[in-house]
Amino acid sequence: MFTVAIDFDGVLNNLPEVWCKYLNDMYYTNHKSEQVDVPRNYNMSLNFPKLSHEGINWPLHRDDFWEKVGYKDSASKKLIDVLRFEFPFINVIIVTATDPEHWTSKYEHCFKRLFPGFPKKNIILTSRKDLIKCNVLVDDNPEYLRASSAYKILMSAPYNVDNTVDVDSVCSNCEAVLNTILQLRLGKSYTYSK
């Protein structure tokens, strides 16, 4: 079966942007000149060098934080739904490098809300995405694509514009990701209805 593995954070959801805003709201209220509006680096500690590891990661334990995380773009849900329901011969896996201690809150307050009914058996928690057996791997962190033997799609973001990893395709949104996958598998694009 043709398998597509899609990263959750930064591809299907807007975690990096929400995380930056959350940290700014908590720590930089009176320091506007130091404020980071959009992450400039995938490693959040490089965006907030004055914060401790604990200070940066504490929101990931909070239910109210995960309730603020939404879709990456208007086609995020459609990407998953179209692949799952209109092309059932395409196996869709969602992968995330989430620390297991954050997963329960993330799953209950974000994942289930954004992708209700998505089968748990098709969710993989790993930082070794190169070990996933798939035909296509989609991620916003080029380092997760580096060693993969799959067709590599990089979701472009402000924090990966200086990417040096060899990828097969770069997409700026989920509609482009869907069309790249369908061109690769079927030789055709998807027509979006308005």
Say which amino acid occupies 17: E
Tokens linked to 113 = 């809300």
Is residue 142 within 8 A of residue 160, CB to CB? The reply is yes
* pLDDT at residue number 152: 98
β-partners of residue 90 are 2
pLDDT higher than 60, residue 35: yes
pLDDT higher than 90, residue 107: yes
Query: What is the DSSP-derived secondary structure letter of residue 160?
Result: G
Mean pLDDT to the nearest integer, 77-100? 95
Strand 90-96 and strand 169-171: pairing?
A: unpaired
* pLDDT at residue number 32: 58
Please choose, from the candidates 4, 9, 5, the residue with its C-alpha nearest in 3D space to the C-alpha of residue 157. Answer: 9
pLDDT higher than 80, residue 194: no
pLDDT higher than 80, residue 34: no
Tokens linked to 117 = 């009914």
* pLDDT at residue number 33: 56
Cα–Cα separations (whole angstroms), residue 50 to 20, 65, 160 = 14, 21, 22
Question: If you average pLDDT over every residue of the chain, what do you get?
Answer: 92
